[in-house]
Amino acid sequence: MDPILRTWTFWIRAALREECRLHLEATKLPELAAQPGNLRASALFRDIGDGTTEVVVMSVWESMASIEAFTGSTPAAPSIDPADRPKLFDHEPQVRHYLLRDLDEAPPWLSRELDL
């Protein structure tokens, strides 16, 4: 079974970048990494140049079943803590899931988004 890349993107004010990074590293990323079937969790930050920062939280899972065991019946719904909502400038309405192919067996351009 091919692993699944799970991503969710949101935007914050650039002034909150360090606070957000520390929060993710202290709470959210360890929570994801501790879930059965999770292979890796990280966050990427990109300053847009207009006073906002794009944040992509991504995790790699053994299977869609392991994601569903973590999320329940709504794997495409983002989970946003109520205390964090006011800090978000904007966010994608859905989490994205991508089927990963073993790069040794498939061309590097071969991947597809899962329809959920």
The CATH code that applies to domain 4-98 is 3.30.70.100
DSSP 29-86: HHHHHTSTTEEEEEEEEEE-SSSEEEEEEEEEES-HHHHHHHH-S-TTS----TTTGG
Global pTM value: 0.84
> Would you give per-residue pLDDT tens digits along the chain (116 residues)?
789 999 999 999 999 999 999 999 999 999 999 999 999 999 999 999 999 999 999 999 999 999 999 999 899 998 888 888 889 999 999 999 998 875 456 555 555 555 54
Per-domain residue ranges for the chain?
4-98
